[in-house]
Amino acid sequence: MKKRFLFLGLGVLFFLVMFTSLPGQNNKTGVNWPSFRGEDAKGFSDGFASPISWDVESSKNVKWKTPIPGLGHSSPIVWGNFIYITTAISGVEDPELKVGLYGSINPVEDETEHLFKVYCLDKNSGKIIWEHTSHKGIPKVKRHPKATHANSTPATDGEHVVAFFGSEGLYCYSMQGKLLWKKDFGVLDSAFFMVPTAQWGFASSPVIHDGVVVIQADVLENSFLAALDVKTGKVLWKTGRNDYPTWSTPTVQAVGQGKQVIVNGFKHVGAYDFKTGKEIWKLSGAGDIPVPTPVVAHGLVFINSAHGKMSPIFAIKLSAQGDISLKPGEDSNEFIVWSINRGGAYMQTPLIYGDYLYNLRGNGAFECYKATTGERIYREKVGNMSSFSASAVAADGKLYLPSEQGDIFVVKAGPEFEVLGQNPMKDICMATPAISEGVVFIRTHHFLAAVHEK
């Protein structure tokens, strides 16, 4: 009888421990990193000491390192004690992944059967808790040599985990790994609009807000923005978009008494009503291959892009209405507080941390601006022969800049440029890191690592 009660007691204790990491139980600042670039795509997490230096070979300041098979540039996300991450496993033993600064637009020829998978790991140990294959089959579109078939970062609200594999579908799981629903949107071909055969793969990540999943699918044909009920997968609204393929993730932001879905684009940067999908404002004249995610800070939305004739940065009032496009010769108007024509990033989402906007570009050019005015504070170069695709993140007064070659540069936040550390991961790094309780979670080509300040 005593043993029976002991086992029951242990079972209750296990349930309570697990429950503390479930819905609504972990809202402490600095713990959760629920989607691409964390909460509201802000890209920073404060409240805990974070590392300056580590060594993956000696395991100095490396909490754990877990191999992740396949290819994936999706970022890890964190809720409580759990980490979620996606990958696509090719039938080819060593699938092509080419990094660096080059101009090839040809896609990878790999028509083998792929496994599209979601993993859940223990945040403290790196142990894999569960894994599920969302889809199995030959990819419906090809990918760029620098990309993967698992580019989109998953999202969670503490009850659901949503993973988007583009043409292979949208999948919603419980935190424990039970498939709740899935949705097929058909072929979502994110190809270079000037050369449609240059298929580069889907990359926009889902966002969960107030029980709604928001997805942006700017593709060659029938682009759209959509909202779905996170519990059922029911489409609440779907708004068509007249734009070329983009690879940007939307941002949801409260504005006045309502909420807006803010999106990047080439022909159509803009905002939509969160409840109805109705357009609120729009802007044209951006870079023609938009990737960076809109970021909101200081009452402004910051949007940048590059490629083609334009590489602008825009700082836009959240009160914007109608067509706010700049006229020739203008760098501001009623709703655009400031802008620059050249200097925006091609791949990286800007980081607004404190009073400053940090802009990292693919060649390592790194600029700091006063966020509210656009005054440039400094322009520096990070890395000698490094190239960059991942976005910068921040914690504890430090900026983390991952290079494609696997060096993580740690830069001091503030108006004075100072490199505090350079930490080689000894592996390719294309994914933006996540941060939780001061621990930086870094995804590389072959593994996921947790680095911390002991």
CA-CA-CA-CA dihedral for 356, 76, 288, 217, to nearest 10:
-130
| Segment 382-440, tens digit of pLDDT | 998 889 999 999 999 999 999 999 999 999 999 999 999 999 999 999 999 999 999 99
Q: Is residue 4 part of a domain?
A: no
CA-CA-CA-CA dihedral for 319, 287, 304, 45, to nearest 10:
120
Q: Is residue 224 part of a domain?
A: yes
| Per-residue burial over 173-199, b = 16 or more CB atoms within 10 Å of its CB, e = otherwise | bebeeeebbebebeebbbbbbeeeeeb
For residue 178, give both structure tokens: 């039970």
Give 28's pLDDT tier (boundaries 50, 70, 90). Answer: low
Mean pLDDT throughout 242-259?
94
- CA-CA distance, 179 to 201, in Å (whole number)? 24
Give 19's pLDDT tier (boundaries 50, 70, 90). Answer: very low
Taking alpha carbons only, the member of 247, 210, 84 closest to residue 155 is 84
Q: Identity (one letter) of the amino acid at 44? A: F
Taking alpha carbons only, the member of 73, 67, 221 closest to residue 145 is 73
Q: Is residue 271 part of a domain?
A: yes
| Segment 67-116, tens digit of pLDDT | 999 999 999 999 999 999 999 999 999 999 999 988 888 999 999 999 99
Say how far residue 82 (Cα) sits from the centre of its chain. Answer: 18
Give 142's pLDDT tier (boundaries 50, 70, 90). Answer: very high
Q: Is the pLDDT at 6 greater than 90, yes or no?
A: no
Q: What is the pLDDT of residue 23?
A: 38
Q: Is residue 110 part of a domain?
A: yes
- The domain containing residue 441 runs over which residues? 26-451
Q: Residue 324's domain is classified under what CATH number?
A: 2.130.10.10
For the beta carbon of residue 28, count every other beta carbon within 10 angstroms.
10
Q: Is residue 95 part of a domain?
A: yes
Q: Is residue 338 part of a domain?
A: yes
Are 312 and 340 contacting, i.e. CB atoms less than 8 angstroms apart?
Answer: yes
- CA-CA distance, 194 to 396, in Å (whole number)? 43
Give 24's pLDDT tier (boundaries 50, 70, 90). Answer: very low
Q: Is the pLDDT at 223 greater than 50, yes or no?
A: yes
Q: What is the pLDDT of residue 192?
A: 87
- CA-CA distance, 200 to 191, in Å (whole number)? 5
Give 301's pLDDT tier (boundaries 50, 70, 90). Answer: very high
Q: Is residue 183 part of a domain?
A: yes
Q: Identity (one letter) of the amino acid at 290? A: P
Mean pLDDT throughout 294-303?
97
Pairing status of strand 212-217 against strand 434-436: unpaired
Place of tokens 């590489």: 311
Q: What is the pLDDT of residue 104?
A: 84
Q: What is the pLDDT of residue 103?
A: 83
Q: What is the pLDDT of residue 309?
A: 85
How many structural domains does the chain have? 1
Percentage of residues in the chain having pLDDT higher than 90: 87
Q: Where are the beta strands (DSSP E) in 139-298?
A: 155-156, 160-164, 170-174, 179-183, 207-209, 212-217, 224-229, 235-240, 251-255, 258-263, 269-273, 279-283, 295-297
Mean pLDDT throughout 331-357?
96
Taking alpha carbons only, the member of 326, 304, 398, 411 closest to residue 364 is 411
CA-CA-CA-CA dihedral for 423, 428, 431, 434, to nearest 10:
-30
Q: Is the pLDDT at 154 greater than 60, yes or no?
A: yes
Are 86 and 150 contacting, i.e. CB atoms less than 8 angstroms apart?
Answer: yes
The region that residue 40 occupies, defined by phi over 0 for left and psi between -120 and 50 for alpha, beta otherwise, is left
- CA-CA distance, 301 to 39, in Å (whole number)? 15
Q: What is the pLDDT of residue 337?
A: 98
Q: What would you measure as the largest C-alpha separation in the chain, in angstroms? A: 84
Taking alpha carbons only, the member of 372, 374, 380, 384 closest to residue 418 is 380
Computed over every residue of the chain, the mean pLDDT equals 93
Percentage of residues in the chain having pLDDT higher than 70: 94
